[in-house]
Amino acid sequence: MYLVALGVVLMAMKFLEFGPVAVWPWWVVLAPFGLAVAWWSWADASGYTKRKEMEREDAKRKERIDRNRDAMGLLSHKRKKK
């Protein structure tokens, strides 16, 4: 997402001829978009995206289980202090 935001900012600066970006070639200005596509392709192909999604779901599930155990008074005092 950071690469897309950088690409939008650089493209706007190039279009408005603002700062040193005005004299840069277009391929340099548009490079962050290509890098974003490469990153997303790698993340999907390597399983990185799915792994991060599963970690978030596991953390939510654990928090929900701990919250329910705490509400029922089943969490030990040792575990509550963490």
pLDDT tens sequence for the chain (82 residues): 899 999 999 999 999 999 999 999 999 999 999 999 999 999 989 998 889 899 999 999 999 998 888 888 876 655 555 5
The count of structural domains within the chain is 2
State the amino acid at position 33 in one-letter form: F
58 and 42 within one domain: no
Q: Please give the model's pTM, rounded to 2 decimal places.
A: 0.64
Residues 54 and 36 in one domain: no
Say if residues 33 and 7 touch (Cβ distance below 8 Å): yes
Domain extent, residue 68, equals: 48-82
Domain match, 42 and 52 both:
no
pLDDT of residue 81: 55
Whether residues 3 and 25 share a domain: the answer is yes
Question: Do residues 30 and 68 share a domain?
Answer: no
State whether 7 and 42 are in the same domain.
Answer: yes
1 in the same domain as 41 = yes
